[in-house]
Chain A
Amino acid sequence: MSGKVAIGSDIGQARRAVEQLRMEAGIERVKVSKAASDLLQFCMEQAKSDPFLVGIPAATNPFKEKKPCTIL
């Protein structure tokens, strides 16, 4: 009795796994060269607004200490 129930749920799981794999195998894909170029392009375009790349002067970065003025 319990053997049949176990098999039933195994089949249900196996069917779902097959359906899932069919769906995943069938999706549209792009070549890595194209995908990589697009990642690069995004990076380059955004680079000027990336504080870690451009660097924010101590005066405007709230976390950096403001340099004290030296009076000569």
Chain B
Amino acid sequence: MATDGLHENQTLASLKSEAESLKGKLEEERAKLHDVELHQVAERVEALGQFVMKTRRTLKGHGNKVLCMDWCKDKRRIVSSSQDGKVIVWDSFTTNKEHAVTMPCTWVMACAYAPSGCAIACGGLDNKCSVYPLTFDKNENMAAKKKSVAMHTNYLSACSFTNSDMQILTASGDGTCALWDVESGQLLQSFHGHGADVLCLDLAPSETGNTFVSGGCDKKAMVWDMRSGQCVQAFETHESDINSVRYYPSGDAFASGSDDATCRLYDLRADREVAVYSKDSIIFGASSVDFSLSGRLLFAGYNDYTINVWDVLKGSRVSILFGHENRVSTLRVSPDGTAFCSGSWDHTLRVWA
């Protein structure tokens, strides 16, 4: 019996040392192809001019911190969720509220618009992701049609419909991501690998196939195959929690925003980090990131209440936007790229153009 224990200990030790040497090999393989920096290749590109970006709309109505927002494909409607338990659908052109629902929990950390524009999904401290169909019938109680889709064992941090209203991808404080069938509530695939809370996810642009990227409190960004549930690539260069991940519009790279006050760009084909967006003067965490339509600009919201606009290729900051009176917690560029919306702990959302 004692010898059995010893044998198992040896196998564990040899597996651990094999893991260490594989990690070393991985770094070596990545380093071999590191022949140049992105900003060096970008030297031949023209510098960007001055940008004039202002708050064009302010959406007021939430009673507490805005935690998440998403655009409708119609480029006009916005859904937002708050610590006050409310989820509101806005017409961003007129700033009118079109729908509002009160969740049974506070801290609704995630919300998403369905591709059809006919439903929204949300969740948070209730550990669930629920779908609400949107109707324009004034007599209809939105909460009555609620459908519980996802069940996690800890808070829901992010959710996104796939390219149809039929499936939802979720990320949770329980360390996993999961893919669900909306109609039946069935778990279709689960994604295990993060060593701590998963805080964000983003689906690859549809042309690039069935993958998504997630970021977590384990400082890792992981790329997953949606069909097999396998992690296909992992990146661990951030020094703190990764709060936001977003694919580059071509699908060949993704950006991340972290509590380490940096945003980074990872190229999937080179399998490595290719840019770091940081400044000595930026010491607060980046909570949310998104690209402009061409991928040239990266908009990032920070915990110091500002939004920094980065030249993705050259690695320099092109603009800093002031306006929010507390942390920026969420940020998304509109589907046609004409504006972006930011949500903040100051209870408001702002549309910038």
**B18, B41, B230, B253 — most chain A CB neighbours (10 Å):** B41
Contacts of B53 in A (CB 8 A): 52
Given A50-B294, A63-B56, residue A24 in contact with residue B5 (CB < 8 A):
no
CB pair A52–B293 under 8 Å, yes or no, is yes
Q: Which of B105-113, B119-127, B336-344 contacts A (4 or more CB under 8 A)?
A: B336-344
CB pair B41–A52 under 8 Å, yes or no, is no
CB pair A39–B293 under 8 Å, yes or no, is no
From B35, B248, B339, A31 is in contact (CB under 8 Å) with B35
CB pair A39–B38 under 8 Å, yes or no, is yes
| Complex interface residues of chain A between 9 and 68 (CB less than 8 A to chain B) | 10-11, 14-15, 17-18, 20-25, 27, 29-40, 42-44, 46-47, 49-53, 56, 61-65
Contacts of B270 in A (CB 8 A): 29-32, 34-36
Contacts of B253 in A (CB 8 A): 35, 39
CB pair B22–A51 under 8 Å, yes or no, is no
CB pair B336–A51 under 8 Å, yes or no, is yes
- In the complex the two chains form, what is the Cα distance from A33 to B4 in whole Å? 52
CB pair B293–A10 under 8 Å, yes or no, is no
A49 nearest in chain B by CB position: B293
B353 in contact (CB, < 8 A): yes
Given A21-B19, A63-B351, residue A40 in contact with residue B42 (CB < 8 A):
yes
**How many residues of chain B get a CB closer than 8 Å to chain A's CBs?**
64
Contacts of A36 in B (CB 8 A): 36-38, 41-42, 267, 270, 274
Tell me, rounded to whole Å, the shortest Cβ–Cβ distance linking A50 to chain B. Answer: 4
From B36, B250, B296, B339, A33 is in contact (CB under 8 Å) with B36
- For the complex of A and B, the 10 pairs showing the least CB-CB separation, nearest first, are A46-B294, A50-B294, A21-B22, A14-B15, A35-B270, A63-B56, A36-B41, A63-B353, A30-B269, A50-B293
14 example contacts (A-B, Cβ-Cβ < 8 A) are as follows: A15-B15, A20-B231, A27-B232, A32-B270, A32-B272, A39-B312, A40-B41, A42-B249, A50-B337, A52-B53, A56-B338, A61-B339, A63-B338, A64-B353
Residues of B within 8 A of A (CB): 4-5, 8-9, 11-12, 15-16, 18-19, 22-23, 25-26, 29-30, 33-38, 41-42, 45, 48, 51, 53, 56-57, 76, 92-93, 193, 230-234, 248-250, 252-253, 267, 269-272, 274, 292-297, 312-313, 336-339, 351, 353
